[in-house]
Each structure stands twice: as structure tokens, then as C-alpha cells.
Amino acid sequence: MDKIKPTDGKYSRRQTLKILGGSLAICATDLALASRIFGYEKRPNIVVILSDDHRADTMSNMGHPFIQTPNLDRLAKEGVKFTNAFATTPLCSPSRGCYLTGLYAHRHGVKNNYTPWNDKNVTFLEHLKNDGYKNAFFGKWHMPGKLPDLLGKALDRFVTFTASGGQGLYFDCPLIIDGVVTERKGKYLTEDLTDLALDFIRQEKSGPFCVYLAHKAPHQPFSPPPALRKLYADADVSRTLPPEYHAWIHQKEGSTYYGVMGSVGKKYLDYHRVITAMDQQIGRVLSELDRLGIAYNTIVVYASDNGYMWGEKQLIDKRFPYEEATRIPLIVRYPAKIKNPGRISAGMALNVDVAPTLLQLAGLKAPGAMQGMSLAPVLANKNIRFRNSIHLEHFKDFPYNVPAWDAVRTDHFLYVEYDGQKGAELFDIIKDPRTMHNLIATPEGKSVLPELLEMMKNYLRGKANG
């Protein structure tokens, strides 16, 4: 028998087959088993699916009263769901920069929806590309300035759009495919992007590849495909809207209460329909990974850029430091590495954690400049507490009437300081998860404030130093 010499502790496919056939005489065709027995591990494929304005509780696996998201439910059942995950800046452009770079907005520079992307930023995609990955970006870039020249440097395919100020259109949205504007008549954007992503996955199925699929959905104007326009028509939205919803309708729509199927009620249901339409496309991705036989060694991450408020505290949109806006869905599935799938992790995770997590799982060392922390130990079911507090930030985003703010959040309290305003807020998020009662001037608030002020001081010191 030929002498087989491992290279760097790994065996080639041919070497593995020789060992199986000559030494063990077992299942020579089962390369996955051979890899696990002999320590040869193929680098994982990666699929990141990022949505827009999907609040964390709007999934059926979170106990939502009427929405159905069977494919996100499947991801949660077969992976790890992070139930305390947050966007460090709850706004589209800054958060998207955070996912790609592993940096806070004050570091990567996209501080709101109008500050441009800095081409000196390095994304995790460059690191993967340098290690032999085939990478593709499909969907919403939505960071100001000219589109970055990532082809060759970080990407092998770059599909995005600039229509509607970079927000895109649900129907007939022109795409920029590797720099060429292409009309897409008769296409529904969520499905169109998924089609293109699946084409790339099929082409690169031998791996390793990374697909970054950034949907417009479920961002307004909440336009579901025709087949879903009557979905949830009998839903009782009063079970999910906050008690102050009525006052908010009065404020936004005039003095008439529109009711469940009125103006706001229809928008609210359409929001859920658009999420379900996206969930169907996520199901197509999962099914294709299964069909190609590569699901076992493929990491799938689902997350959103921020949450969304539906009248809570009589507020709409995001940009606020409150739970409905800052909290995001985050689910990771990786059958080859996740122990005891179906778990829930209640530790605080951040959007900046995704980049270093993916690099570690790909066998690469995350750059020291990244501010996020790898969640890989959580996926391996290690009992590790990552952090006791987090820093959240928001910069003025004209013309929106939301001040800049910095916040410190622990497992127990949320403390917020507003730029240019004397008032601060302090909430007990265990007793008051809807953050309705400001404790800043109460005895309870005064007793915990010094520790929170010290945390804020340390965070702001680091922020000021870059």
C-alpha cells in the first residue's frame, strides 16, 4: 500500500478514500463520515440572510399570535436562536455597516442613512475571499456614496440596486448586476434576489462559498406578492398592537379611528404578509441546500438590521433606544458544529458579533480591530457569559426628529443619555419590559445609577478614542 502523508494535519479526499478502503474497509463513499473520523474538515459554506425592519417577536417561533414563519421556525429548531440580540445602531445603513465590518457605526463611519461608506473599511468578505472563498452579495446595500468596488477584492458577484434612494422596489426593481443595470420586469424583488442567490449556490456547490442575501423585505411600503394579499385577513391585530395604539392612530391618521382593516391596520397586516413572503423564499434556500447535499456543512445566519415600532409609546419606525427598535432576530444553523440544536441563548448578542463569528467558524482569526465577539462558543454549547452590558448608539438622522443618543443596557436596566438634552431615562426592563416608567428620579433609579454612569463613561471614552 502507498504510504499516505497528511499535509498540515489534514487529509485530501483521495487520501481519505485510500485509508477507508485499505485500512477500515467501511463505507468508502461516505466522505462526511471519513472526514469526521480522520479529522479532515472542509471549510464551511456560509449563507447570511439579512432582512430590513423585522422586529424580533414577529415570528411564529416567538409565540406571535397569527404570523406563520415555518422556515424561520425550522432554522430555530435546527440551530441556535439568540433571544437577546440587538442592533448597536437601530437604523438601516449604520447597522448594515456593522454586520459587514464587525465595527460600531462610530468606527466604520456610516453614522446614519446619509453619511457615505468609507472604501477603506474592510469587510469579513475580504478575509474569506483571501482564504479561497467564492463570495456573492445579493440585494440591499443602502449605504450612501457610490457603490463600492468590491468585485475581485471581496466579491465574485455583486447584485444590488439604487432605485428609490437605494431602498429598492418590491416589483420590477432594476438590478445592478456586476455593474450593469438590468431591467427585471414582472419580478417580485424578494423572489428575484433569491433566484439569483440560488443560481450562485448551484454554481459554487463544491465550495467554499459565502452568499450574503440582503432583502428589502419587510421594509415599507409593505407590498406583498399577489398570492398573499389576503393572508391574515381574519387576524385580530388587537392582540399584538400596544394599548397606546389608538392614540397613535389619532396622531398619525387624524381624528377617525380606522379599526382593524383601516389604513394603519392594513399596513400592519401587509407588514406580516411581506415577512411571510420572505419566509417562503428562505424555505427555498434551505431546500436547495438539502437537495445539493451541502446543508450539513453550511452555516445559515438569519438576522435583521433593526427592529420596528408599531405605536409603542406612540412612536413609529426605529431609531429609538427602546426594545421594539433595538432588539433583532438572530438565528444561526450549522449542523456540523452546533451541539444540541433547538437551543435558545439568552446572552446579549450584537450585530457586530456576526462578522467575527463567521470568520472563526471558517477557521480564520478575526482582526483585532473588530469590536464584536465571536458567538462560536455558544454554538458549541459552552456555558460562557460573553458580556454583562452593551453599548447602543444613535446619531442624528435628518430630517427625523429623533435626537442622537447613547445607551447602556444590562440584563436588568436600560439607561439612555440624549445629546443636547438634560433629560435621561432609566428603565427596569425586567419589571417594565415595555420601558414605560422612567426611574431616573426615583429612589430605585438613584441606587443603580452610579454603576450605569460608570459603564457609560467607559463606553463613551472608548467611543471618543475611536
| pLDDT tens string 348-406 | 999 999 999 999 999 999 999 999 999 999 999 877 777 999 999 999 988 888 899 99
4: pLDDT confidence band, cut at 50, 70 and 90?
Answer: very low
245: pLDDT confidence band, cut at 50, 70 and 90?
Answer: confident
| Residue 462 reports pLDDT greater than 70 | yes
Query: What architecture does CATH give domain 405-464?
Result: 2-Layer Sandwich (3.30)
| pLDDT tens string 23-71 | 433 333 344 444 444 444 689 999 999 999 999 999 999 999 999 999 9
Q: Give the DSSP letter string of 313-329.
A: GG-EES-SSSHHHHEE-
- Summary mean pLDDT of the chain: 88
Measured CA to CA, the distance from residue 75 to residue 60 in angstroms comes to: 12
321: pLDDT confidence band, cut at 50, 70 and 90?
Answer: very high
For residue 64, count CB atoms less than 10 angstroms from its CB and return exposed for 0-12, middle for 13-18, buried for 19 or more.
middle
Measured CA to CA, the distance from residue 340 to residue 378 in angstroms comes to: 11
Instruction: Answer whether 45-388 and 405-464 agree in fold.
Output: no
| Residue 277 reports pLDDT greater than 60 | yes
The values of phi and psi at residue 431, to 5°, are: -80, -30
Instruction: Note the pLDDT of residue 35.
Output: 42
Sequence-distant (6+) residues with CB within 8 A of 227 are none
Residues 290, 63, 93, 178: what is their CA dihedral angle, to the nearest 10 degrees? 20
Instruction: Note the pLDDT of residue 315.
Output: 87
Cell digits of residue 230: 389576503
Domain 45-388 homologous superfamily, CATH:
Alkaline Phosphatase, subunit A (3.40.720.10)
C-alpha distances in angstroms, 388 versus 123, 405, 452?
Answer: 27, 20, 11
Domain boundaries, the chain: 1-41, 45-388, 405-464
Q: Closest Cα to residue 165, out of 78, 105, 92?
A: 92
Place of cell 382593524: 260
Q: What is the model's pTM?
A: 0.88
Residue of higher predicted confidence among 420 and 26: 420
How open is the CA angle 166-170-175, to the nearest 5 degrees? 55
Residue of higher predicted confidence among 212 and 25: 212
| pLDDT tens string 423-457 | 899 999 999 999 999 999 999 999 999 999 999 99
Q: Give the DSSP letter string of 164-194.
A: GGGT--SBS--EEETTEEE--TT-BHHHHHH
